[in-house]
Amino acid sequence: MTNHDELLRRVAAHARSRSRTLPPAAGPDDVAGAERRLGFTLPVLLRRLYTEVANGGFGPDYCLFPLTGEGRTATSAYRAEYGPGQEGGPSAHWPRGVLPILDWGCAMYAAVDCLRPGAPVLLFEPNAGPEDWADAWFEDSPSLAAWLEAWLSGTGWWEEAVMFADDAAEPRPWPDAASRIREGS
């Protein structure tokens, strides 16, 4: 198991340096209740972000959703996206266990795959009007830890200098998207 103490310390310091009004951290009962509603457990690093740094309100651009609480949360966004589709079953576009943590705007999300080791971060980008929902899913980062490091170092794809660089990388399709969407339906 990886020790994330130093990463969490740096994330907390960076978050505090950017916002004087971080929400309080979520409590263990908040996390347990969210996990019951979600139907899966959070990866250790994600749980620690919510319980040791703050209940959302920090991170790239629009900031992480709170896990729980009033208004739009990671839990409510997951339930809305993965929730019943037109035939009453799970959504045809959202895989089970993929928790939206940040809204990039324009229906795009950063989401953590809570069912895979390392908690990969995915990008859901449906704006091209895909014929197959699997084509709207991309690999953002191989792990939540690497995604946070990109935020801390200013090297994430969402950074303007990175996004518009001549050698900007194209997003990589998520190869597991089709099978994971089918698994959930």
**Domain extent listing, the chain:** 5-155+172-184
The pTM of the full predicted model, rounded to 2 decimals, is: 0.93
pLDDT (0 to 100) of residue 129? 72
Q: Which two tokens stand for residue 38?
A: 């979600």
pLDDT tens sequence across 23-48: 999 999 999 999 999 999 999 999 99
pLDDT tens sequence across 80-127: 999 765 555 556 889 999 999 999 999 999 999 999 999 999 999 998
pLDDT (average), residues 156-171: 88
Judged by DSSP in three states, 56 sits in coil
**Least confident range of 1-15, 82-96, 139-153:** 82-96
1 pLDDT exceeds 50?
A: no
Name the CA dihedral angle for 94, 126, 42, 24, rounded to a multiple of 10 degrees. Answer: -130
Specify the CATH architecture of the domain 5-155+172-184. Answer: 3-Layer(aba) Sandwich (3.40)
Compute the residue count for the chain.
185
pLDDT (average), residues 10-22: 92
Question: What is the strand order of the sheet 98-105 is part of?
Answer: 98-105, 108-113, 121-124, 137-141, 172-173
Sequence-separated (6 or more) residues with CB below 8 Å from residue 173 = 135, 137, 138, 139
169 pLDDT exceeds 60?
A: yes
